[in-house]
Amino acid sequence: MNTQKWSKASIVAIAIILLWLKTYIAYKTSFDIKIENWRQEIILFINPLSFLMFILGISLFLKEKSQKRYILITSFIVSAILFANVVFYRFFNDFLTIPVLFQTSNMSDLGSSVTELINFSDLLYFVDFIILAVLIKVKPAFMGYREYSKVDRRAFFLVAIAIAFFNLGMAETERPQLLTRTFDREMLVKNIGTYNYHLYDAFLQSKSSAQRAMADGSELADIDNYVRANYLPPNEDMFGVAKGKNVILISMESTQSFVINQTVNGQEITPFLNDFIKDSYYFDNFYHQTGQGKTSDSEFLVENSLYPLSRGAVFFTHSGNEYTATPEILNDKGYFTASLHANNKSFWNRDIMYQSLGYQRFYSLPDYDVNEENSVGWGMKDVDFFQQSVEHLKAMPKPFYAKFITLTNHFPFELGEEDSFIEPYTSNSKTLNNYFPTVRYTDEALKLFVQKLKDEGLYDDSIIIIYGDHYGISENHNKAMGEYLGKEITPFESTQLQRVPLIIHVPGQKGKTISTVSGQIDLKPTILHLLGMDTKNNIDFGSDLFSKNRLDFAVLRDGSFITKDHVFTRETCYDKATGEPTDRAACEPYFENAKNELEFSDKIIYGDLLRFYGESNDSKESFQKTGE
């Protein structure tokens, strides 16, 4: 009888094999994981196995009925985790992290975005669960249950451990310091697998929670020294040119630089911005530096001159931290500070985070007349948003600092025919096709807004800063993007596509295009210097865009960086002149800077270190009042 049981297939083995094969198929079909050699292919193939053996191996300790129930429930949960990563990856080209799961309060607002990302064929991600359920119900002759001895269980888990160490050993050979260089989640998934990656992510989450509890002010010393050593004094010709002026800061949803001064179907995509640039400072090598927090990350960068986190959104994970943000500094200078966004105030946890940033007022959904006619996609149309917002601006005490967050040019880029000023593009990507009309619509909204500012007498007393918050077209649409741009989208080109517009309009100043390599992290010191407030005592990782002797350098959140002549991304150094890989030595002088920038910023956030800053600098008040 024992021989018969040994000869029958185990439901445990069947479940492991089905999940293993499904995961590998998902790797190859649903994720864009780059494989460079046969060793990496082997690692990718075996990396789900050890986790699946451990998690499903627990059932070896259970009786038949409990074992079957455990296997079914576990298989469903593991399948759900894999599917959640697939859906998340379809738009963000990234993998889920625990902090992102804390952002579930946003889900009620996602609506059509989620619907657009899920297909009927996605049921295939649960086909193994269905097969298991049928096998357990039918009880075919080839499958049977047996009780496992201690020796059997010990042997099973020893094999699982051996596979895990073999996997980790091969991964470490391919990518040294794999677990200490965690900026690239794709690299982690490729080497240790989706499921082990989530375990490692849980470890990192626990570690980050402990960091704040263990932090003290002494950790600021090295960071303060680094920041001071890299401080650039303001340009004398630009310092204070906007002193006493209102500040209108506009975040353009999902707008990338490739649309500026370009056409689609023979029509200009951004006719207003193309003209506005002529009377403004335009930075054509300006990069977004956001992570998983997208728009909220761009806000964090701009307001704090700190990098966002590589996992999750700071707006959710560290909203209770102490910050010295632009609104808080300007409050002490007599400015009225406000953010305007016609959405739920809790979206991205803004109602809580804005208090930490120092905003005096948040004009959110209840402050606008929002109805079905003036809404599309994620909410209120940009034209109506700007027009209604002017009334709020008129009522604000002067001078004011007002940040606008647009919404219409948001995935999946929906727009009614009555609001379409250009025809969609024609390619195999619906996303890219519809992107151009929504960008054009936001451009029109900005045109009407600026005219309204002129009509109401606000234009000449305000500096207007317009910037893109993050990419709109992900790498999933590289084929269509390559068709539009007329070139192959390599990792080099993909990094160049992370450029977003930055336009700074200062009354009385002539227009000029500035090609210094820069990023969103540079906006805070730039704005404060334009207003005549020095930042030499601030903990800022950015530097004034108008400063002389600026280093052409921008670090992206994934560890990539851009210099005047080179781009470093995905462990490859590229020559910007040719777009081709070049000797890694050309990028090496910047490795340490890029690493320090991200790690120092992370330490500040995880340890909430700015709460200690006043202890070593007389008082926090003196820090906030820099420039008086």
Phi, psi at residue 256, to the nearest 5°?
Answer: -105, 160
Catalytic: which of 295, 337, 408, 442?
A: 295
Tokens, residue 245: 């002026």
Query: How many Cα atoms occupy the beta-carbon half-sphere of 619 within 13 Å?
Result: 3
- Can you give the pLDDT at residue 180? 59
What residue ranges define each of the domains in the chain, with the CATH number in brackets?
2-211 (no CATH), 221-622 (3.40.720.10)
**CA of 87: how far to CAs of 31, 91, 254, in Å?**
10, 7, 19
Binding residues for Mn(2+): 253, 295, 469-470
Is the link from the previous residue into 412 a cis peptide, with omega within 30 of 0? yes
Cβ contacts of 344-351, under 8 Å, gap ≥ 24: 344/109, 346/105, 347/105, 347/106, 347/109, 348/103, 348/106, 348/293, 348/295, 348/296, 348/313, 348/315, 348/316, 349/105, 349/296, 349/313, 349/315, 349/316, 349/319, 350/296, 350/315
- Can you give the pLDDT at residue 356? 93
Sign of CA dihedral 327, 331, 334, 337: positive
pLDDT averaged over consecutive 10-residue blocks of the chain (628 residues)? 51 92 92 84 93 93 90 94 86 70 54 66 89 87 78 92 92 75 70 88 75 82 92 94 97 97 96 97 98 92 96 83 96 97 84 93 94 87 96 97 96 89 94 96 97 97 97 92 96 97 95 96 98 94 95 95 96 96 96 95 93 56 33
Task: List the alpha helices (DSSP H) in 377-429.
Answer: 382-395
- Can you give the pLDDT at residue 3? 43
- Can you give the pLDDT at residue 623? 30
Distance CA 584, CA 251 (A): 35
SS3 at position 35: coil
Q: Smallest Cα–Cα separation from 564: which of 572, 554, 552?
A: 552
- Can you give the pLDDT at residue 2? 44
- Can you give the pLDDT at residue 455? 97
Binding residues: 253, 295, 410, 469-470
Distance CA 152, CA 395 (A): 76
State pTM to two decimals: 0.76
Distance CA 196, CA 183 (A): 16
How confident is the model over 563-610, as pLDDT tens digits?
Answer: 999 999 999 999 999 999 999 999 999 999 999 999 999 999 999 999
Give the torsion through C-alpha atoms of 254, 109, 209, 187, to 10 deg. Answer: -50
Active site residue 295: yes
Angle at 519 between CA 237 and CA 491, to 5 degrees: 140
Distance CA 238, CA 509 (A): 10
Binding residues for substrate: 410
322's CB contacts (< 8 A; 6+ apart) are: 356, 608, 610, 611, 613
